[in-house]
């Protein structure tokens, strides 16, 4: 492992886990989000060496055969278009579901500020995560 290698580079290049994506070079977009010891982090912002001995969860580990309820909700809400941002949103959502547990759609939206999506306009992503969190759905 190179000393200057970021976690996302390590995952993609050494581990061939390419589900974690790179969408920027300023730690902005969240496409690279993974769970580091259960916490959502942008894996382009940590060095791989810093993660020695830590537990890292990536999108590849979210399910075996069947999609998880979160993934299923994404599918049913059509929260995926090009799919590039999707792993990042899923990992952030995993953390939110366990820790923050937003109480409203607005709160959820604020919590997702570190994840960008250029395709969906966020609405179906909020629908999907909101469904898993059992948030009241907005009137359409």
Question: Which residues in this chain contact other proteins in the complex, by CB under 8 A?
Answer: 4, 12, 16-26, 28-29, 31, 58-60, 62-63, 67, 71, 74-76, 78, 80-87, 90, 106, 108-110, 112-113, 115-126, 138, 140
Q: Which residues of 70-88 are buried (b: 16+ CB within 10 A; e: fewer)?
A: bbebbeebebbeeebbbbb
Interface with ligand FES (CB under 6 A), residue total 21
Do the Cβ atoms of 43 and 34 come closer than 8 Å? yes
Query: In the complex, what is the shortest distance from the CB of residue 80 to ligand FES, in angstroms, rounded to a whole number?
Result: 6
* Site map (CB under 6 A) of ligand FES, residues 76-105, x = contact: ----xxxxxx--------------------
Confirm or reject binding of residue 75 to ligand FES (CB under 6 A). Answer: no
Confirm or reject binding of residue 41 to ligand FES (CB under 6 A). Answer: no
Residues at the interface with ligand FES (CB under 6 A): 22-24, 27-32, 42, 44, 80-85, 117-120
């Amino acid at each position: 492992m190179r000393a200057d290698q970021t976690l996302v580079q390590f995952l993609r290049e050494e581990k061939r886990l390419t589900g974690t994506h790179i969408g920027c070079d300023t730690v902005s977009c969240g496409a690279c989000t993974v769970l580091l010891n259960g916490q959502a982090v942008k894996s382009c912002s940590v060095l791989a060496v810093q993660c020695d001995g830590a537990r890292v969860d990536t999108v590849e580990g979210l399910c075996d055969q069947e999609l998880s309820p979160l993934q299923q909700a994404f599918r049913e809400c059509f929260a995926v278009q090009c799919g590039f941002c999707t792993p990042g949103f899923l990992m952030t959502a995993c953390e939110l579901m366990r820790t923050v547990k937003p109480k409203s759609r607005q709160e959820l939206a604020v919590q997702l500020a570190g994840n960008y999506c250029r395709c969906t306009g966020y609405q179906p992503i909020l629908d999907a995560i909101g469904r898993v969190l059992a948030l009241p759905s907005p009137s359409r």
